[in-house]
Structure 1
Amino acid sequence: MNRPASSRPALATFSAPRDDDALALVGLTVAYRVRGRERDVLTDVSLRIRRGEAYGLVGESGCGKSTVALAALRYLPRNGRVKAGRIAIAGDDVLALDADGLRTLRANAVSMVYQDPASALNPTLTIARQLNEAFEAAGADASVARSRSHAMLERVRIADPGRVLASYAHQLSGGMQQRVVIAMALASNPALLILDEPTTGLDATVEAEVLDLIARLRAELGMAVLLISHDLAVIGRMCERVGVLYAGRLVEEGVTRDVFERARHPYTVGLLRCLPAHGRNKHAGALDTIPGELPAPGASAPGCIYAPRCRLADARCRVEAPPPHRMTSPHGEQMSRCHYHERAIELPFGNLIGGGDGSQTSSHSPSNPDAEPRVVLRALDVSRTFGHGAQAVRALDGVSIELHAGETLGLVGESGSGKTTLARMLLGLNAPDAGGAVELDGKRLHAHVARRRADERAALRVVFQHPDASLNRALPVKRLIERALSRPRDDTQADRQASDESRIAGLLEAVRVPARYLVARARQLSGGLKQRVAIAQAFAGEPRIVICDEPTSALDVSVQAAILNLLARLQRERGVSYLFISHDLDVVRYLADRIVVLYAGRIVENGPAGAVFDGPWHPYTETLLAARALGVASANSTQATGRGCIFSAHCPRKVGAICDEAPPSLADAGGGHRILCHIPVDELRAQQSATSVTQAAT
């Protein structure tokens, strides 16, 4: 992000707030009381965000990122308290405010956007009522609040504010819900906007639109932004400076470009290496991961807190806590709490790049290379219509897919394109319209899961995007997984108990859930931990097919890398097949063997992963890839209308009237790669090559 050459980055460490700080934390220590004992979850955290600045906060799930935000707002739960330190927002000493002063601060100076917009919206109230309340809390009367609500929805680029104001939360898409929540947060024109994972679960184009919106509004309003995210690409695009939290301690801080190009702490280096490299897939080897796990909250040990997981650690690191080393970097000052910050970038790799674990070999390669791959799951011309008459919406229209034994089929497209609807039909949770069918091993499955045989239900398992949809919040982790285990019928009770405990321990180790969480209930877990438990639960039944609906969207990059390695290993060892739905195209490219691209309920492109990602592309696929790489926004999927191409209204390569008047046919791009477009394949390839050259030149 461009900044004036004369501006100077804030110091990495400091002793007191300044007048130009939108947020200043000085020596912040926060503890939670658990089972009668206080456990520190933040220790001596000092950071500052200047007015108008964007600051990113990254780290694994459980490192304390959200606690920083909650402490700043004094929203800590009853068992949490600030033990030491100072908090200042726009010049106000937050810890010194009484109830009225705190209420005024929250109403006028600071706002927060939470990770899940649905949980921030009241399902029983219209959007109009909730947005009006936000303006009324900031001091507007009822009539002014109504007019400002309509104007604010226009400001956050909602095309039909009247319809949205009259709607309830469940009637809006995830991207639309997030825009509404942002509109509510901006009602008070705050000096500081805190965003806690604002793009989790959003597809590439909607994410690009939301980020572009935040950047534009930040520039217009001159507000500061604290962006908490596990998506390092988002932090890189949005933030001037970044802080890295580990186990409640700020271990590195600096200008984002400096930190990402030459990290000075081994933990930061590890996080960056967990990302799937551009163009790399599972057959090239396992992703690098960070060994071990986070220490338990409140754990204290001499030396560096990261030493047990660090590949650079020596005896000094285990006995002597590193101070905050400050150094001058190309674009400002950088801080690192590491004795060996000069050579952190030389951190040895943990996994052998190139597949030392044998992962170079395709997991689904048949023993006879000339044999056709066996189809285990098939959808035949399935459609799905919601509603009736004039209110009918065609979510899927004549979709056919095949999933082969031991392969991963990636399913990509924007919110509303029909990805989850297709998954629910395969699982028997939604029935297709008349004429469509779903087959398992060549045999037709009943449209409703309750009418399927036990072995058919056991063959298909699912990992939902939101783990709360699959986990009973009142049950402990051990019981959740135990209920899903498949067991031989002739086992004795003693054998079954011993086997269960061993398998549960193995599953939790595989998904990197510490054993101490066995007795924790689902409602006590963070979002990342819940998702890991949901993945363990899905594999407990030893399924042959797993439908993964955004399984890594709530996970930080280190856990994501471990989960992707786990999925690839289980596929090699057990021959399990995946239908993998994700908005993260880098993740899809790493794991998928073949790709299907959906738009407005129809398949516009499909083929081997390498061919689809390397081009030529359908213009819609090209737009998705550009949105992820460059932060370019595009129009959302809409219900198809008219007789022509379903993408014609938004297509950047529209060739003329034929796109509106005649449906295109599938064109063969070679090697099983097919594109639904009027433009000839060779012409698409030439156009896209010319665009790439132009972008590289600029």
Structure 2
Amino acid sequence: MAEHLLDVRNLSVEFHTASGTVQAVRNISYHVDRGETLAILGESGSGKSVSSSAIMNLIDMPPGRIASGEILLDGKDLLTLPADQRREINGRRIAMIFQDPLSHLNPVYTVGWQIREAMTTHGMDREKAESEAQRLLGRVGIPEPERAMKKYPHEFSGGQRQRVMIAMALALRPDLLIADEPTTALDVTVQAEVLALLKELQQETGMAVMIITHDLGVVAKIADRVVVMEKGVLVESGSVREVYRNPQHPYTRKLINAAPGKGEMHQPPAPREPILSVRDVRKTYGAFTALKGISFDLMPGETIAVVGESGSGKSTLARILLRLDEPDGGSALWKGRDLFTLSSAELYALRRDLQMVFQDPTQSLNPRMTVFQLISEAWVIHPEILPKAKWRARVEELLEQVGLKPEHMRRYPHQFSGGQRQRIAIARALALEPQLIICDEAVSALDVSVQAQVIALLDRLRRDMGLSFIFIAHDLPVVRDFADHVMVMQKGELVEFGTVRQVFEAPRQPYTRDLLAASLDPDPDVQAERQQVKRSAL
């Protein structure tokens, strides 16, 4: 019996590109034991996903190349095994679940077929695979598993799709489950459910779990040990409590200090004449009621956060306020003028005052346009803002304002990181000199330190320019640090509204209390205390 279930030794991975060789992983070593949960923590580009891809033999070679090292499973080096033996191990001994299940589930096959395939490929007969797939769907909490077997991936919610992926990964009872950012885009309550499910399944099966994440709260919730990676190098390792309480490396300290939810709460601005007054906004899609009479006031220079689970109506509200969708009833007075009754020409003129920053800048930025073209497009549409002779200087100024460099204007979106692309999206919104910016999950997919930088940037812009924000988010610690007031939405209704301090320290509604309880804290002692309280309540 080998000392460790998985033992990665001196692993180096490099990629050959047109601009030279990129060393994605440099001489890293770590291990995972049976029944243990190891977290690999790091930001985008740290090499954490590349190292797991090497374990699963998922690196395209070329351009990739494993330059050195060993990957030992029960003492046997996977890198020396022939391809047919690696295929036999993948799925049966080591399984993997990914960040975006919609991208990794085949849209043209039912989920039942896809789970069965994972078993029949490794020799299980079809009838047994059918009954086992149905049992697994029930075990991971999918309602009516017999009917669910016949459904396609798009017919499930994000959290349910992740559960389907977990069922598929567990089909052959692997010794090691690798989970690559499995909860990043999920609501706080769904995230808590998925992490609790992984822990339950681990206790049932005795499997080891390796979770790859940039979220300190996930590490505190589920992991026993953690290794920290930066720019392809393993910079720190230890128990979760040791690393959080006494980090040795500056990068680890930077990650811990960047974790949201620990700063001073905002004092809301003094009551004034609202810049936006929303009354009784309603929206129905067929038989589904998305908004049920939403009302609130937004003051100049104020940030209102809108929180709630998927399906609560947050994004529908944002789209209606910008007239991207039409309401069924109600009013939205912008400086006394009802946005819902404006003509197309009037709305066109008003667009420059109301801007939006979307969740995914990769999809919201045209890949064929340079940064200069993306930002200056605003002045093509609204030429009265700025004469063409001043465009270049203003683009440079905006890029510097959001923490980028003037020379970046010549690049295309794919040449930037996710955090940099979001900064470009913010610069584009600022080009029109708006008075209100609606941020729809604008920081949810960003690394913790990049997220902290973007929030600090938005906060500075609010102070310097007097901007107002409607900030849609499911990350409650970020909301606590950034917002003045919080709107809590559930199934199309506004169930609670108050200052950040009122909502976070004295929530009135059970639903709000459930959201706050499900929010993960980066402190492992806080997580352990919450778990103890939960067990005592059962």
TM-score normalised by L of structure 2: 0.90
Q: Tell me: CA distance 1:122–1:517, structure 2 relative to 1, closer, same or farther (3 Å).
A: farther
Q: Is the 1:430–1:448 Cα contact (8 Å) retained in structure 2?
A: no
Structure with more helix by fraction = 2
Give the corresponding residue for 2:322. Answer: 427
Q: Which runs of 5+ in 2 are unaligned?
A: 523-529
Distance in 2 between residues matched to 1:386 and 1:176, nearest whole Å: 22
Instruction: Kindly provide the amino acid, as one letter, of the partner of residue 384 in structure 1.
Output: K
Q: Is the 2:258–2:449 Cα contact (8 Å) retained in structure 1?
A: yes
Give the corresponding residue for 1:331. Answer: none
Specify the SS of the correspondent of 1:453: helix
Matched, 1:378 2:361: no
Distance in 2 between residues matched to 1:697 and 1:130, nearest whole Å: 39
Q: Tell me: CA distance 1:521–1:156, structure 2 relative to 1, closer, same or farther (3 Å).
A: farther
Q: Alignment partner for residue 140 of structure 2, among 151, 156, 166?
A: 156
Matched, 1:19 2:10: no
Matched, 1:549 2:440: yes
| Deviation at residue 89 of structure 1 after TM alignment | 3.3
Distance in 2 between residues matched to 1:23 and 1:447, nearest whole Å: 64
| Deviation at residue 139 of structure 1 after TM alignment | 2.7
| Deviation at residue 626 of structure 1 after TM alignment | 1.5
| Deviation at residue 145 of structure 1 after TM alignment | 2.5
Q: Alignment partner for residue 462 of structure 1, among 343, 351, 356?
A: 356
Distance in 1 between residues matched to 2:196 and 2:385, nearest whole Å: 59
Q: Alignment partner for residue 579 of structure 1, among 470, 474, 478?
A: 470
- The equivalences for 1:583-594 within 5 A come to 583-594=474-485
Q: Alignment partner for residue 38 of structure 2, among 50, 55, 75?
A: 55
Specify the SS of the correspondent of 2:503: helix
| Deviation at residue 128 of structure 1 after TM alignment | 2.4
| Deviation at residue 609 of structure 1 after TM alignment | 1.4
Give the corresponding residue for 1:626. Answer: 517
List per-residue Cα deviations over 1:154-177 (Å, max 9, x = no partner): 111112223433333233221112
Q: Tell me: CA distance 1:427–1:92, structure 2 relative to 1, closer, same or farther (3 Å).
A: farther
Matched, 1:436 2:419: no
List per-residue Cα deviations over 1:284-304 (Å, max 9, x = no partner): xxxxxxxxxxxxxxxxxxxxx
TM-score normalised by L of structure 1: 0.70
Q: Is the 1:408–1:580 Cα contact (8 Å) retained in structure 2?
A: yes
Distance in 2 between residues matched to 1:480 and 1:234, nearest whole Å: 36
Give the corresponding residue for 1:273. Answer: 257
Distance in 1 between residues matched to 2:304 and 2:164, nearest whole Å: 34
Q: Tell me: CA distance 1:693–1:199, structure 2 relative to 1, closer, same or farther (3 Å).
A: closer
Specify the SS of the correspondent of 2:5: strand
Q: Tell me: CA distance 1:113–1:526, structure 2 relative to 1, closer, same or farther (3 Å).
A: farther
List per-residue Cα deviations over 1:437-495 (Å, max 9, x = no partner): 33322212248997763232222222222333312344444544443468764856443
List per-residue Cα deviations over 1:145-196 (Å, max 9, x = no partner): 3222211111111122234333332332211121112112222222211111
Distance in 2 between residues matched to 1:540 and 1:611, nearest whole Å: 35
Distance in 1 between residues matched to 2:184 and 2:344, nearest whole Å: 32
Give the corresponding residue for 1:248. Answer: 232
Matched, 1:87 2:71: yes
Count residues in correspondence: 528
Give the corresponding residue for 1:134. Answer: 118
Give the corresponding residue for 1:117. Answer: 101
Give the corresponding residue for 1:208. Answer: 192
| Deviation at residue 558 of structure 1 after TM alignment | 0.9
Matched, 1:263 2:247: yes
Q: Tell me: CA distance 1:428–1:692, structure 2 relative to 1, closer, same or farther (3 Å).
A: same
Q: Alignment partner for residue 40 of structure 1, among 2, 17, 23?
A: 23
Matched, 1:613 2:507: no
Q: Is the 1:405–1:577 Cα contact (8 Å) retained in structure 2?
A: yes
Specify the SS of the correspondent of 2:498: strand
Specify the SS of the correspondent of 1:46: strand
Instruction: Kindly provide the amino acid, as one letter, of the partner of residue 171 in structure 2.
Output: A
- The equivalences for 1:319-338 within 5 A come to none
Specify the SS of the correspondent of 2:275: strand
Instruction: Kindly provide the amino acid, as one letter, of the partner of residue 72 in structure 2.
Output: A
Q: Is the 1:477–1:521 Cα contact (8 Å) retained in structure 2?
A: yes
Q: Alignment partner for residue 14 of structure 2, among 31, 35, 52?
A: 31
Give the corresponding residue for 1:403. Answer: 298
Q: Is the 1:409–1:595 Cα contact (8 Å) retained in structure 2?
A: yes
Q: Which has the larger radius of gyration?
A: 1
Give the corresponding residue for 1:66. Answer: 49
Specify the SS of the correspondent of 1:483: helix
| Deviation at residue 253 of structure 1 after TM alignment | 0.5
List per-residue Cα deviations over 1:194-240 (Å, max 9, x = no partner): 11111112122111101100100111111111111111011011111
Identity %: 41
List per-residue Cα deviations over 1:513-547 (Å, max 9, x = no partner): x7786665444655444444434433343322111
Q: Alignment partner for residue 430 of structure 2, among 530, 539, 542?
A: 539
Q: Tell me: CA distance 1:153–1:586, structure 2 relative to 1, closer, same or farther (3 Å).
A: same
Greater RCO, 1 or 2 (C-alpha within 8 Å, sep 6+) = 2
Q: Which runs of 5+ in 1 are unaligned?
A: 1-17, 284-361, 366-371, 632-690
Q: Tell me: CA distance 1:440–1:469, structure 2 relative to 1, closer, same or farther (3 Å).
A: farther
Distance in 1 between residues matched to 2:341 and 2:3, nearest whole Å: 61
| Deviation at residue 102 of structure 1 after TM alignment | 2.1
List per-residue Cα deviations over 1:344-403 (Å, max 9, x = no partner): xxxxxxxxxxxxxxxxxx6x44xxxxxx4232233321222223xxxx222221222222
